[in-house]
Each structure stands twice: as C-alpha cells, then as structure tokens.
Amino acid sequence: TTSTSTSTKKHLLKLVILGDSGVGKTSLMNRYHSQKFTGQYKATIGADFLSKQVSIADPHTGYVRHVTLQIWDTAGQERFQSLGVAFYRGADAVALVYDVGDGRSFDHLDNWRGEFLRQVGLDEEGADFPFVLIGNKIDRPDGERQVSRQRAERWCEDAGLGRRIGGGPIPHFETSAKTSDNVDAAFLELATLAVIHA
Ligand code: GTP
Ligand code: MG
C-alpha cells in the first residue's frame, strides 16, 4: 500500500498458530506472551487467544507502528479441528509449527497450510498470504532430531514459489519454547509480516 495515513492502518493484528497436536503451539504463545513455560501438556480445546502490545518498525515506511497482536492458539487435535475454521477468519499472518523431533508433524505442514488457505478462500497457487515456519523443541538432544534444517528450508522455498508480495522463501525459525531460544525473533518476523500485509 502507498497510503501514508495512519488512520487507514489496522491497529489490531490477528496472528494464528497452526500445527499438529503436541508440537508446542501453546507453549510458544505463552513463552512469547509472558515468558512462561511449563513441561505439562494440556491439550488446547478449540482455540484461545492472548493479546500483546508491541512496537514494530514497518520495513516499507520505516515508521514504528504501535499495534496490538491478538495471538490465536488453535487445537492441533483432529477432533477439535472442525471448530478451527471460525478462528482462521481475519488472520493477518500464520505461524506453522512442527516439532524438529517429529517428522510426522513436518509432513503435515502442507495440510495445515492448504487447509488454512482453503478455509479463508485463498487459492494455494500464488497466494500472497504471509506464513512463518517454526521448527520447535530444538533443545531436544541431537539424536532426537528427525527434521534437518535443510529439509525445512527446502519446504520453505517450495511453499514460497509463486508468492508475489514479499516473494521468495517462507521465513524459517528453529525455536525452543522451553529455553526461549529464537521465540521472540520468530514472533517479531510474524508480526512484521502482518504489519506489511494488513
Ligand atoms: P495441542 O494444544 O494439542 O495442539 O498441542 P500444542 O501444540 O499446543 O503443544 P503444547 O504447547 O501443549 O506442548 C506439548 C508438550 O510439549 C508439552 O508437554 C510441552 O511442555 C512440551 N514442549 C513445548 N515446547 C517445547 C520445547 O520447546 N521443548 C521441549 N523440550 N518441550 C516442549
Ligand atoms: Mg495447545
């Protein structure tokens, strides 16, 4: 957009976190939102959101924008997924999360991405919708890794093909909600893409 009027820009940005059950979506949100982590697993039912006020530099204009992020944490469990659709609506950016120690969660990324785009009425080819890919649980011992960084980056290149705005690969982060490694960086990128896209 070439508009310079701040009044036309959205103040509330909706971020949605998608991915298989147990990859750490809730843990990432809680770590980013309030620097908390618990090792306990409590499945998210339906979806839940937290708000956070942040200042983001708009890379196009250079202006710092004060925005409220509404971070939607959705359920990865199959039986709650019919509820998910309503939570996708109005999303400004999406984080796709897998567990670096769980190859199946990586294999399911295409489904999550495709289903999201379908539900919000965007076609998969040439969609300009901003995604960030997050490989979580990098604190796990090396021997437990099932998804290499290279493999994930290849996926990001393939999924980024055909994007017009901000074309090129989908940004990729490897994180740990447990140690907080790279979590802020991943959400900052997500929020920045949302600012550009909104
Ligand atoms: P659903 O709500 O069912 O979709 O799962 P989820 O993706 O929200 O997973 P959740 O955040 O509940 O985490 C699942 C389990 O993984 C919990 O026991 C967390 O403590 C653990 N976990 C989350 N992130 C990490 C991480 O970065 N490292 C390690 N070691 N464990 C993590
Ligand atoms: Mg959860």
Q: Give yes or no for residue 26 CB within 6 A of ligand 1.
A: yes
* Residue found under tokens 């979590």: 183
- Residue 80 DSSP class: G
Contact 132, 173 (CB under 8 A): yes
Taking the C-alpha atoms of residue 171 and residue 180, their distance in angstroms, rounded to an integer, is 18
Grouping H, G, I as helix, E, B as strand and the rest as coil, residue 148 is coil
Query: Which of 27, 71, 100, 109 should be mutated for ligand 1, with most atoms under 8 A from CB?
Result: 27
- One-letter amino acid at 146 equals Q
30, containing H or E segment = helix 25-34
Q: What is the residue type of 77?
A: Q
Q: Which of 95, 97, 77, 189 is nearest to 147 (CA)?
A: 97
pLDDT digits (tens, 9 = 90+) for 134-178: 999 999 999 999 999 999 999 999 888 766 555 689 999 999 999
Ligand 1 geometric centre to CA of 87 (Å) = 20
Ligand 1 close to Cβ of residue 144 (< 6 A)? no
pLDDT in tens, 45-103: 988 899 999 999 988 888 999 999 999 999 999 877 777 678 899 999 999 999 999 99
The complex scores an ipTM of: 0.99
The DSSP output letter for 127 is: -
Instruction: Confirm whether pTM is higher than 0.90.
Output: yes
To test the ligand 1 pocket, which listed residue (16, 33, 41) has its Cβ within 8 A of the most ligand atoms?
41
From the list 23, 32, 65, the residue with the least C-alpha distance to 184 is 32
DSSP string, 135-176: EE-TTS-GGG--S-HHHHHHHHHHHHTT--TT-SPPPEEE--
Strand, coil or helix: 56: strand
From the list 174, 104, 105, 180, the residue with the least C-alpha distance to 142 is: 174
pLDDT value at residue 1 = 42
Nearest CA to ligand 1 atom 1: 21
Query: In whole angstroms, what is the distance from residue 153 CA to residue 132 CA?
Result: 11
pLDDT tens digit sequence for 102-125: 999 999 999 999 989 988 888 765
Residue 160: other Cβ atoms inside 10 A: 16
